[in-house]
Chains A and B, each alone.
Chain A
Amino acid sequence: MNIQISDSWLREFLETKATPSQIAEYLSLCSQSVEKLIKDGEETVYDIEITTNRPDCLSVYGIARELSAILPRFEINARLKEIPVAKIPKVKSGFPLQVKISKTELCPRFTALVFDNVIIKPSPLSVRKRLENSGIRALNNVVDISNYLMLELGQPMHTFDYDKILKHKMFLRESKEGEEIITLDGQRRKLKEGIIVIEDGEGRIVDLCGIMGGKNSETDKNTKRVLLFVQTYNPMKIRKACQALGFRTEAASRFEKGLDPEGVIPAMERATLLFKEWCGGKVGNELTDIYPSPPKPKTVIVTKVKIDTIMGINIKLEDAKKFLDNLGFKTKIDAKTNSLTAEVPHWRNGDIEIPEDLIEEIARLYGYHNLPNTLPPISSLNYQKEATFEWEDKIKTALKYWGFTETVSYSMARKDLIHNPADHLKISNPLTEDLLYLRTSLIPSLLEVISKNPTEEGIKIFEMANAYLPRGKKELPLETMTLTLAVKGESKYLEVKGILDALLKELGITKFSIKPEKFPSLNYGAQIFIGETNIGIIGEVVSPELTRFGINQKVTVLDIQLNRLLSFATHAKGYIPLPKYPPIIEDLSFVFPPQTFIGPIIEEIKKINEIIKEVEFIDSYQNTRTFRITYQSQERNLTDSEIKSIRKKIIDFVSAKFRAQVKEAL
């Protein structure tokens, strides 16, 4: 959460000669980050990002307190000034107010005070300007006091018109399902159970506590008596209420981070002064202060060994003590145990718990920029590198050099891109309907890329990403790394098949098989097997599917389950001694029945005799297929009669098994 505070305001609490840009730089280095310095005439406004653990910094005073500890580290004097306040007088027999709280844990501290004779008018110009610089619209002096003090001290407060609290009774309790309130912004809000509210003597809900007041009790131009409300609330309750209501205010964002109950009285006293100065208001009753269990001071101990271990340097405990004391801790050095005992200041009660928290305080004041840059030493490493990533890189690089362009698409797909929504994981709070289901295949994503680039010719693309296969309601899905290629154009099957062949060769896989199969989504295609493992499919996408994407050319796809494929990948390459004897090469042509698959023929011929070293498919004309056969022996020169007998075996086998007729033997 960011706050914007004016430099002049900051200096009301901090005496220093530091310039605004020094303040911005040093605050960023040692505490909260100043994102912008905004010049507004004479004024400079700091835009500061406050981390969630530091609600104590969500104020002008809180920042001044940090700076008073930080600036001296840069050799700049800085002194934190006192908060100007007015003591709350004891008023006997003032305006009555009866308060009841249903459960203590809802509201750790409850204070309320009535101001009489209030004159509603605009606030002083300088105040209006400061509010504006902080992004808050000035309304009138009464409302402005509550906003001004929220920014100045970090304590939100609320002002009621005292006379609109019927019977002057307040009952703080949890809401019941279905109750309603119209809030200050005029919105009618239906409440769920468990939201902290205040009910007046007539049973009307007058406040949505910590979030926004009720319309029915707001101050207006006729208000004479103001009931000022300063509380701390159970942060979780406020947070849940905001979530349930679907809205959050500046006050709520502070309450839900947990505020310091010790900060309540200073805020009340400061308000007393401002009511007097800006509105002429006089305290009109006895202060109500319900504070059943003030938190006990917390102490945290940290050893020097631990500080040094985390900071990586040798730090003097005296220095560490000084840093902590400047931040408001009360510390003692224990020489015997070589440690520091630190009593946590009440405004840091929420975020200082463990020794590491103290080390952070010490280290940031020492200055992270003053710590050396050292590489961590490697003592030992006990793991094996994972080859998967190297294979993936190798595949991607090969595809790039084979002319493919890599795409990265969202893992989520819209309903009409997928086939069976029920088989997909669904996002329950999607950002848009376009990103609703987790994809189980990358093919639709690639088709979508093709459809988005209608003027590109000869598209060759691929994506490597997880597919998400559900495994029931109680188990995480199977995330399978998938490689999918798509090539646009007529008759690209053999081109894509060639990529598959080359890719497997790159991975050291020489034995695989292609089993033709009919798929509903492919004109023609096949399953790819390595041994018994199906590693994927290849084929040309059917027209209706392409039409769905508005693609008017053919697309051929290759879809591989990478984890299965990579389980066969190997760098191992066997060495075969270079041949000493010349090969004999000859071509054989056969006429086959129409639509005979050629892949298995090549595989079968190779198996006939071990001197058949190579079978290449070199020519095709109508139903004639020509193979180039290479015979070679490692041990001897081959004789004509040897070749003749093997050739006969080939011809007999192919003729018999594939019903082919040999055409010529050269």
Chain B
Amino acid sequence: MIKDQIRNLKNEAVGEILEAKSLQELEKIRVIFLGRSGKINALTKEIPKLPADERGGIGKLINETKKTIEEVLSQTQNKLTKTDRKTEWIDVTAPGIKPPEGHLHLITEAISEISSIFASLGFRRARYPEVEWDWYAFEGLNMAENHPARDEWETFFIDGLESDKYGKGILTPHTSSGQLREMEKYAPPIRMLNIAKCYRRESGMSHAPMFYQFEGLVVDKNINISHLKGTIDYFTKQYFGPDRKSRIRPFHFQFTEPSFEVDVTCLICGGKARLPNGKVCRTCKEGWMELGGSGMVHPNVLKNGGIDPEKYSGFAFGWGVERVLMMKYGINDIRLLFEGDLRFLKQF
């Protein structure tokens, strides 16, 4: 009798298993037959009630049945896993769980970009004092006290700070103060990229009392104007894009001779000086935007840096980090960068 029961149970289980359409259904069947209070266990509990000589045979039979059910179950499970294309539904269009969102300051991003462009040309990054002596910022750069050229740099002075040797303590108004510092530290060949905060006594849409400059300095044998032009052009194309052109024009700085102003073709009108609608481009001057100053290092500056100008020559440039990034992103007020308005900072 019990043998029939066992056989029926096996057939019943195998039948249901083969009919199952999903893994969920299969799991239900498993619980019904093989679960802790399932049908197989129920039969097992009957064994002690049987006559002693039958117990072994029935026990074996139940075990075999269990094994068979398990096998069929496992085969079916494998089959269903392959074929069953999930009936479970998830909204794949729902917003994902975001990682924490932070923001680097635009200036930091610009500095990284600029540094990596110049690093590929072998420029070493440097940083020199922001609170600096007059000598490094002016006198040593061929601008004696009271020289009219000094008017270009509206300078902040530090109260009571003065060196017998180097003059007054100031907030450096340009990264060019790093030129002599670099020359004191290293002998040629020099390839410096000095990126630092500078300060000038002015404030407006395009001038903040604090700003960043990046200063390139190359000193080696036979360095010439075309090397400066090549370097500028490389930077322009890498930073602003391959279509941008650059040019240098005559200018004057006391610490370079000759000196140049560097222009880049306008990003708005593409250097055409006119907008697609035919109107005059108001962003640029005749298709060109001023990037900043540059020049061949003045022999007096090389001398002041302990380098023989008869043996070595060099070029230098110093441009505003904010200026290039404002040109690139079309930001029209430099002061936004320093005001700490998180609505602005979180845009980048």
Contacts and interface: CB of A to CB of B under 8 A. Distances in A.
A310 B259 CA distance: 12
A411 B161 contact: no
Task: State which size class the interface on A falls in.
Answer: 35 or more
A410 B338 contact: yes
Interface centre among A313, A363, A459 (most CB of B within 10 A): A363
B336 to A, nearest CB: 11
B234 to A, nearest CB: 6
B202 A431 contact: yes
Contacts of A449: 340, 342
Interface string B244-278: 00011111100001111100000000000000000
Contacts of A410: 209-210, 338
Contacts of A368: 225, 229, 247-250, 260
Contacts of B326: none
B231 A407 contact: no
Contact of A379 (B151, B189, B299, B343): B189
Task: State which size class the interface on B falls in.
Answer: 35 or more
Contacts of B131: 425, 438, 468, 476-477, 479
Interface in A274-307: none
B306 interface: no
Nearest to A243: B146
A430 interface: yes
Contact of A312 (B129, B171, B226): B226
SS of B interface (majority) = mixed
B250 A239 contact: no
A337 to B, nearest CB: 15
A474 B167 CA distance: 10
Given A376-B231, A426-B158, A431-B201, A309 B313 contact: yes
Contacts of A409: 338, 340
A259 to B, nearest CB: 13
B340 A407 contact: yes
B230 interface: yes
Interface stretch (A4-12, A110-118, A397-405, A532-540): A397-405
Contacts of B105: 406-408
Contacts of A360: 250, 257-259
Contacts of B220: 376, 379
Contacts of B96: none
Nearest to A425: B158
Contacts of A407: 105, 340, 345
Interface string B290-318: 00000010110000000000000100000
Contacts of B260: 368
Contacts of A396: 104, 108
Contact of A354 (B101, B224, B299, B346): B299
A420 B199 CA distance: 23
B10 interface: no
Nearest to A25: B286
B63 to A, nearest CB: 33
Given A52-B252, A373-B226, A381-B124, A476 B257 contact: no
B226 A402 contact: no
Interface string B95-132: 00001111111011000100100000110111101111
Contact of A466 (B130, B158, B337): B130
A379 B345 contact: no
B215 to A, nearest CB: 15
B157 interface: yes
Contacts of B164: 474
Contacts of A429: 156-157, 201
A409 B339 CA distance: 7
A363 B161 contact: no
B203 interface: yes
A411 B210 contact: yes
Nearest to A53: B252
Interface in B324-348: 337-343, 345-346
A385 interface: yes
Contacts of A36: 285
A29 B263 CA distance: 11
Nearest to A475: B163
B259 to A, nearest CB: 8
Contact of A435 (B130, B209, B231): B209
A412 B250 contact: no
A310 B107 CA distance: 34
B197 interface: yes
A554 B151 CA distance: 47
A448 B313 CA distance: 47
A453 interface: yes
A126 B307 CA distance: 56
Contacts of A594: none
Interface of B: 99-105, 107-108, 112, 115, 121-122, 124-127, 129-133, 146, 148-149, 151-152, 156-164, 169, 171, 186-187, 189, 191, 197, 199, 201-203, 209-210, 218, 220-227, 229-234, 247-252, 257-261, 285-286, 296, 298-299, 313, 337-343, 345-346
8 closest residue pairs by CB, A with B = A403-B100, A312-B224, A51-B252, A360-B258, A449-B340, A312-B226, A400-B102, A376-B227
